[in-house]
Amino acid sequence: MHIVEKNIYYCTIRRMKLFIAQLNPVVGDINGNFGKIMHAARTADAEQADLIITPELCLTGYPPLDLLERTDFLDTSDTFISYLKKELPKDRMTIVGAPFRELIDNETRLFSAAYVFHNGHIVDVIKKTLLPTYDVFDEARYFTTNNEPPRVITLGREKIGITICEDIWNDELFAKTRRYQKNPLAELMKKKPTIVVNISASPWESGKHLYRRDMIVHATKRWKTTLVYVNQTGANDALIFDGRSMIVREGRILWAGPHYEPCLESFDLMHYKKRPPVDVTKTGDLFLALTLGIKDYFAKQGFTKAVIGLSGGIDSALVAVLAVHALGKDNVLGVLMPSEFSSGHSISDAEFLAANLGIQTLVLPIQSPFESMKALLRTQIASSTLPDAMKEKITADDVTEENIQSRVRGMLLMALSNKYGYLMLATGNKSEMSTGYATLYGDLCGALAPLGDVFKTDVYTLSEYVNASYGRCIPDNIITKAPSAELRPNQKDQDTLPPYEILDGILRAYLEEGLPFDDIIEKFNKTTATWVIRTLHQNEYKRRQAPLILKTSKKSLRPGRYFPIVQKYHRHF
Amino acid sequence: MHIVEKNIYYCTIRRMKLFIAQLNPVVGDINGNFGKIMHAARTADAEQADLIITPELCLTGYPPLDLLERTDFLDTSDTFISYLKKELPKDRMTIVGAPFRELIDNETRLFSAAYVFHNGHIVDVIKKTLLPTYDVFDEARYFTTNNEPPRVITLGREKIGITICEDIWNDELFAKTRRYQKNPLAELMKKKPTIVVNISASPWESGKHLYRRDMIVHATKRWKTTLVYVNQTGANDALIFDGRSMIVREGRILWAGPHYEPCLESFDLMHYKKRPPVDVTKTGDLFLALTLGIKDYFAKQGFTKAVIGLSGGIDSALVAVLAVHALGKDNVLGVLMPSEFSSGHSISDAEFLAANLGIQTLVLPIQSPFESMKALLRTQIASSTLPDAMKEKITADDVTEENIQSRVRGMLLMALSNKYGYLMLATGNKSEMSTGYATLYGDLCGALAPLGDVFKTDVYTLSEYVNASYGRCIPDNIITKAPSAELRPNQKDQDTLPPYEILDGILRAYLEEGLPFDDIIEKFNKTTATWVIRTLHQNEYKRRQAPLILKTSKKSLRPGRYFPIVQKYHRHF
């Protein structure tokens, strides 16, 4: 669709040296983040940059969540804003994302803002207009919507227009779903800025950076302008930020920042060498994101070492590879916990993997605690005053005993975690966490579930990518054998679950795409689809107690998905 | 403060028979909730009521959370709205809370609405204006704010003004904090309704009903009007709804509905007998709320039986009492799991308690699985290739072995839960869950934590209330002895934690009141306060994996509190 735009300003950029501070702040570490901003500004000063740009809320780190409800937290933020005013290089204009309080009608309102520092003053504070409140975003919980008319800030011969993250995501010609009625960028363009700045903390999900790039290319073409996009990098809890800041002029990408790492770089809008975005495959991108997610979860809490249960299966193999890439091989302990139901190849496959990765292993056969637990239950229940029906039931193995095995393993790994200060990584993937094919307090133990938002089919793709890119570290047998929990003789995942291609297809349609049930059963078998969706909902209570999941898709199991545990909707199907 | 109000309409009520349907809907059970609404309407029809009023979103149950994001869910709701149109008694006007979709600027927007049915038509749909998005509320995530001017609906000689829950909570003369700029009730009053209806799903917290009552009394005095307040009852997940619907005319409570149970009752505004609110103490109210929370969690999922670990301590004793009141004594299994560190009185106290309550018990001494787990770790680590420092560390007991005991107990209770289909109740209280004085995958196992939002000091108060009100079922020794986890010889809670009065005081100030740190250290010792607050934040990761907690206070640990796990703010203190 082509429409004629009014009020278009044909920007003519003169000398203007931008400085992109693609930072990795730590949530709540205002002091530390202040240090990072000051370091960036001093570097920019040395490079004689005119305009220094930092990401959204970079003084507090994003997302600060309910820290924003604490007045002492906001007071601390304000204190460091006053330090910035004093200490930032005078001659450079600096844009810093931070919370801003304002008294309106006798009530204090909070805004997500861009502070503009220049010559020892705060020359302006631009407030965010569109507050994302969907999926992982909760901004209406904390912030008030900006209702001021847009304005530009003069810097030399340039007129700078500032937007904050979501403010550029509601273009009526580009957005698939328009969540808001306003398009703040369109309003701003009426003020004829020569440069548009967008400060962001835009959480990564697979493929999102391509959409974002297309959106910015579209916007700069539509408005015939130059847009400087500065995004946070690093991971905070479940969210990974890919950075990928960029400078785009009228649809042409002049400069593309690195992904998954901080970057301090100046860029002269008159004299520059183009730098295109780094090419990466979808799977390669996922691998980098997960590695950063693990790395920052450990580093930002001061942990260095991970403990992982190695079952000989593909999930734990992939988690071990990711952990080695994130933390280094000397910081990963693989624990083999065979039982009577473990096949010989499970142990050897795990050992080959560990040898390939060069990680330390420990073998803890679970037979004795498992037997001891079973025996205790059997003898005590037999001699108890419980009804006969209950006594009878304890004599035969069922899912209870399978869960005990899984829980003994979880307990042993947690014991190592407690004893040695290692963090336990959970190995569950999205397919099994969706269907409850993972034992609560067993497989679901751990600080972090790196694969909790990765379907089993993608676990295979990722494993093949790893073998192709980093030497064949995952033994072929791990990739080719039929997946099994090995909790009873000859058990296979597919005894209980639909084939993973089908299962993942249904989950993707229902969970990620949010397709209506009727559309799903047009594509999939109705009985299978009904089973998958019911099972998904019935296992909500397990996921409520699951470890933190690194978000990789447009809809993770948590956070960003809030379903009641007690509900009966799925019984309608 | 006294101000002169303009536009006040002196209402003159003629014959008008109201019918209050204080329902207990199940979230997502649109079919079942439809049945409850129809049953209420038929009862009202038989009683020749003029106006039938149901709670907010009672067709879907409140809170439906992300079910509202599914179009098939909203389609189902619309289907049942059309059934209501056909099947509701023609001569009665009926107000039903349900979601409402509207196409605005080519985008579908969702509203929380009051459908007004009359004579086989939907005569109006009133949309909610104020969308709570704080604490446990997330309404801006789902709904769009109503921007239509207010209107009244004529019924005989009356003019009915309809508001939805939060719409009456922003009175500029009454509200402590005004969260919104608008006061929809004030706007509505310009239309001179003779009766104001408020449909609500207002989650209970201790003391809130008194504030609510005062607020409604204030509003009806201020606006010289009659307000009919209809609230949901029952519990859905973490939230308990107390009902307590009421009819208030110019500050006088004409009729007060029951608490914690459904009610279908007609009330003639001309000919009535006043019914005052039921008196209840703060502690009695808490007891009733917790009982309902447990009862509905089980009933709405189709479970009848609970399993509880009885340590001989006060927390598990109180949970057992609550479970007996919620589910009946035949549906509660108490499990005693003594270890070498259990004192003699722990076992006898638990046995006395069980005998007093008349519940079945089972004894599972944990020594053998505990020893087996320890021995496995020791022998395997000793013979492993792990470094000597690690080998040495495993030979001495520390918190690791304490956690193993707690986890063996959790595992045994979960085995019983799996084997017999009993739901496990966690016994942790808010004081210990705040400070991490509860073992992840140990004490923190369970489907539901009834005391997770009850401080230890309130556990004592509640236990004394129970003994005073329901016969002395909790043995005195359980109440008087010093609390201990009994995980090492002669351990006492107060070896590790500050005295509970101090601990709870600091937590209440920081967590519930949200007081700034500087205000807290004016009242409490700085070292203690710093320790408590740091410990609270450092244990966020445990709470993220904790069972569902019944909300009882203005700030529960979850849901309604969203703190990052990885953050460094508390290191500022």
Rounded to the nearest 10 degrees, what angle do helices A344-357 and A314-327 cross at? 20
Name which of A436, A388, A438, A393 is nearest B419 in CA terms: A393
Low-confidence ranges of chain B (pLDDT < 70): 1-14, 571-573
Q: Catalytic residue, from B165, B263, B445, B473: name it.
A: B165
| Distant-in-sequence, close-in-space partners of A490: CB < 8 Å, separation ≥ 6 | none
CA distance A477 to chain B (A): 26
Indicate if B128 belongs to the active site: yes
Whether A532 contacts A501, CB under 8 Å? no
Nearest to A564 among B65, B419, B567 (CB): B65
Indicate if B56 belongs to the active site: yes
B12 Ramachandran zone, left/alpha/beta (phi>0; psi -120 to 50)? beta
The CATH class, in words, for A288-493 is alpha beta
Long-range CB contact pairs, A425-428, < 8 A, 24+: A425/A294, A425/A306, A425/A307, A425/A308, A425/A319, A425/A323, A425/A449, A425/A450, A426/A319, A426/A450, A426/A452, A426/A546, A426/A547, A427/A308, A427/A309, A427/A311, A427/A313, A427/A315, A427/A316, A427/A319, A427/A451, A428/A315, A428/A452, A428/A546
Tell me whether residues B569 and A141 touch, CB distance under 8 A: no
| CA distances from residue A246 to A116, A253, A282, A438 in whole angstroms, order as listed | 20, 7, 20, 41
What is the interface pTM, i.e. ipTM, of the complex?
Answer: 0.94
Whether B242 contacts B204, CB under 8 Å? yes
* Tens digits of residue pLDDT in B426-465: 999 999 999 999 999 999 999 999 999 999 999 999 999 9
CA distance A473 to chain B (A): 22
Whether A295 contacts A235, CB under 8 Å? yes
Whether A395 contacts A427, CB under 8 Å? no
The residue of chain A with its CA nearest to that of B513 is A70
Tell me whether residues A296 and B566 touch, CB distance under 8 A: yes
The residue behind tokens 């983040």 is A33
Q: Choose, out of B65, B72, B142, B394, the residue to mutate when testing the contact with A (most A CBs < 10 Å).
A: B72
Name which of A240, A272, A217, A40 is nearest A136 in CA terms: A240
The pLDDT assigned to B5 comes to 38
Whether B350 contacts B311, CB under 8 Å? yes
Indicate if B165 belongs to the active site: yes
Nearest to B564 among A237, A381, A440 (CB): A237
This prediction has a pTM of: 0.95
Tell me the domain boundaries of chain B.
Answer: 17-279, 287-572
Nearest to B568 among A26, A369, A440 (CB): A26
Q: Catalytic residue, from B17, B36, B127, B128: name it.
A: B128
Q: Which two tokens stand for residue B37?
A: 């609404």
- The reply to whether omega before B365 is within 30° of 0 (cis) is no
Tell me whether residues A411 and B411 touch, CB distance under 8 A: yes
Nearest to B445 among A71, A404, A441 (CB): A441
The residue of chain A with its CA nearest to that of B177 is A107
Mean pLDDT of successive 10-residue stretches along chain A, which has 573 residues: 36 74 98 98 97 98 98 97 97 97 94 97 98 97 97 96 98 91 97 98 98 98 98 98 98 98 96 92 98 98 98 97 98 96 90 98 98 97 97 96 97 98 98 95 97 98 97 95 86 88 97 94 95 95 96 96 92 68
The C-alpha atoms of residue B152 and residue B147 are separated, in whole angstroms, by 15
Q: Which string of DSSP letters, residue by residue, matches A33-93?
A: HHHHHHHHHHHHHHTT-SEEE--TTTTT-S--GGGGG-HHHHHHHHHHHHHHHHHS-TTSE
CA distance B270 to chain A (A): 40
Tell me whether residues B380 and A400 touch, CB distance under 8 A: no
The C-alpha atoms of residue A479 and residue A345 are separated, in whole angstroms, by 12
Cβ contacts (< 8 Å) between B203 and chain A: which residues? Answer: none
The CATH architecture assigned to B287-572 reads: 3-Layer(aba) Sandwich (3.40)
The residue behind tokens 């004594």 is B329
The pLDDT assigned to A12 comes to 45
| Distant-in-sequence, close-in-space partners of A389: CB < 8 Å, separation ≥ 6 | none
Give the count of Cβ contacts less than 8 A between chain A and B.
279
Cβ contacts (< 8 Å) between A418 and chain B: which residues? Answer: 398-400, 403
Q: Which two tokens stand for residue B71?
A: 């179009």
The residue of chain B with its CA nearest to that of A517 is B72
The CATH class, in words, for B17-279 is alpha beta
Cβ contacts (< 8 Å) between A68 and chain B: which residues? Answer: none
Strand partners, A247: A228, A255
Tell me whether residues A65 and B570 touch, CB distance under 8 A: no
CB atoms within 10 A of CB B358: 12
Q: Specify the CATH number for A17-273; select among 1.10.10.10, 3.60.110.10, 3.40.50.360, 3.40.50.720.
A: 3.60.110.10
Q: Indicate the residue type of A371.
A: E
Tell me whether residues A64 and B564 touch, CB distance under 8 A: yes
3-state secondary structure of A485: coil
